[in-house]
């Protein structure tokens, strides 16, 4: 099992070649650059920190901690990395810039392999024979070394790297590391970015028996009345089958077909066998919802995955068996990707977040609509 990794996004530069604009907030393809980067980068790490020296309130809407440079006057990426190391609570820190919306979907995993294979302190991406120094993975213990380097009024990132055991990790696609530094770069990049607006995302999490499906079935009609086109992904903890013996599709599948599609004038269904014994990856499942003209996808379950979630907690109206399960506590105590709680009880929450009445469906619908309109609901494109 790999060590836990914090992903640092460097968004603290001056944006001098973009007329001094805050580069992470420059819109390309209808979305700020930070949103494009987070969609590809966040699924690769365990937690994210954004380094920004301007507009911290705007960056905070993406649901991740925001930290400024340890030094003032925009001294370069090393200051942002130093701040990231100072706030890192995991063994490893990954680094990527906010202006590279095409960064590799396997960037971090390959850097981990390189770091471990060479027993290095820092792994750096290399493409086309050149190092990509702001795409790196390092041990969090290097914080004091970097602070000492900066106190010596030194700023060159490769000069600090030279003080440590480094491993270069080769990547074939040079375009994956393209930095959008000018308006011309941004205009050309738009042709490579998705043109169809992506749906937004919200999870509904809770222990078994908390009433997640009950809430969803009551909530969906209200969201439809608000004009949203909805998709739902439900996680099943057991072997399930939507087919049964005697139906043509069942017999075809059991005869050996890997997948069967049934279609009519009203609906279609695609049934596929999975060879892997483990649960499917959430990003892979979400990819099937793309290009379906949806506004919002609601995910029931997958509570161990990191993405924005509303926790459902019931206690008062449950039977004895369900109440015993509910009494296991709150998921949000250990999961900081939970952004609100809906409950029928008075609760003490571990951090500031909305506490909604689980029986107030209009209030919960209003919260979901607000989330739908916020940057925090961004769709995790990772390809």
Pick 316 or 220 by higher pLDDT. Answer: 220
So what's the pLDDT on residue 315? 74
Write out pLDDT tens, residues 152-210: 878 899 999 999 999 999 999 888 998 888 888 888 888 787 655 678 899 999 998 89
So what's the pLDDT on residue 264? 79
Question: Would the pLDDT of 116 be above 90?
Answer: yes
Write out pLDDT tens, residues 222-265: 999 888 889 999 987 666 677 778 787 778 877 888 778 888 78
The fold for domain 200-235+279-377 equals Rossmann fold (3.40.50)
Predicted confidence band of residue 318 (pLDDT cuts 50, 70, 90): very low
Is domain 5-192 given the CATH code 1.10.357.10 in the classification? no
Indicate the domain borders of the chain: 5-192, 200-235+279-377
Write out pLDDT tens, residues 20-52: 788 899 888 877 889 889 888 988 998 999 999
So what's the pLDDT on residue 316? 58
* pLDDT mean across residues, the chain: 86
Q: What is the pTM of this model?
A: 0.58
Asked if domains 5-192 and 200-235+279-377 share a fold, the reply is: no
Write out pLDDT tens, residues 266-292: 777 777 777 666 777 787 788 788 767
- The 3 state secondary structure assigned to the chain is CCCCEEEEEEECCCCHHHCCCCHHHCEECCEEHHHHHHHHHHHHCCEEEEEECCCHHHHHCCCCCEECCCCCCCCCHHHHHHHHHHHCCCCEEEEEECCCCCCCCCHHHHHHHHHHHCCCCEEEEEECCEEEEEEEEEEHHHHHHHHHHHHCCCCCHHHHHCCCCEEEEEECCHHHHCCCCCHHHHHHHHHHCCCCCCCEEEEEECCCCCCHHHHHHHHHHHHHHCCCCEEEEECCCCCCCCCCCCCHHHHHHHCCCCEEEEECCCCEEEEECCCCCCCCCHHHHHHCCCCCCCCEEEEECCCCCCCCEEEEECCCCCCHHHHHHHCCCCHHHCCCCEEEEEECCCCCCCCCCCEEECCCHHHHHHHHHHHHCCHHHCCCCCC
Question: Would the pLDDT of 336 be above 50?
Answer: yes
So what's the pLDDT on residue 227? 85
């Amino acid at each position: 099992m790999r060590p836990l990794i914090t992903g640092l996004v460097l968004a603290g530069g001056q944006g001098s070649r973009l007329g001094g604009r805050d580069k992470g907030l420059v819109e390309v393809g209808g979305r700020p650059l930070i949103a494009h980067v987070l969609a590809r980068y966040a699924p690769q790490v365990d937690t994210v920190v954004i380094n920004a020296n301007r507009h911290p309130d705007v960056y905070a809407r993406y649901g991740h901690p925001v930290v400024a440079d340890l030094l003032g006057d925009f001294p370069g990426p090393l200051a942002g990395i130093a701040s990231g190391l100072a706030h890192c609570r995991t063994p490893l820190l990954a680094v990527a810039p906010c202006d590279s919306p095409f960064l590799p979907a396997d960037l971090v995993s390959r850097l981990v392999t390189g770091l471990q294979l060479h027993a290095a302190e820092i792994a750096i991406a290399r493409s086309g024979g050149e190092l990509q120094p702001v795409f790196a993975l390092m041990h969090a213990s290097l914080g004091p070394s970097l602070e000492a380097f900066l106190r010596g009024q030194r700023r060159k990132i490769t000069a600090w790297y030279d003080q440590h055991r480094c491993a270069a990790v080769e990547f074939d696609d040079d375009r994956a590391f393209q930095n959008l530094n000018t308006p011309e770069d941004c205009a050309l990049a738009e042709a490579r970015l998705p043109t169809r607006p992506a749906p937004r995302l919200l999870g509904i999490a809770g222990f078994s028996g908390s009433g997640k499906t009950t809430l969803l079935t009551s909530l969906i009609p209200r969201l439809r009345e608000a004009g949203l086109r909805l998709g739902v992904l439900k996680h099943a903890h057991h072997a399930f089958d939507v087919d049964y013996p005697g139906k043509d599709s069942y017999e075809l599948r059991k005869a050996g077909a890997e997948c069967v599609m049934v279609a009519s004038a009203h609906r279609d269904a695609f049934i596929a066998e999975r060879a892997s014994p483990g649960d499917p990856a959430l990003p892979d499942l979400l990819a099937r919802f793309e290009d379906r003209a949806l506004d919002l996808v609601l995910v029931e379950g997958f509570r161990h995955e990191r993405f924005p979630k509303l926790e459902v907690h019931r206690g008062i109206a449950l039977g004895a068996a369900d109440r015993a399960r509910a009494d296991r506590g709150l998921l949000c105590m250990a999961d900081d990707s939970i952004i609100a709680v809906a409950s029928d009880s008075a609760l003490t929450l571990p951090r500031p977040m909305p506490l909604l009445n689980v029986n107030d469906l209009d209030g919960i619908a209003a919260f979901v609509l607000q989330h739908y309109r916020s940057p925090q609901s961004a769709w995790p494109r990772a390809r």
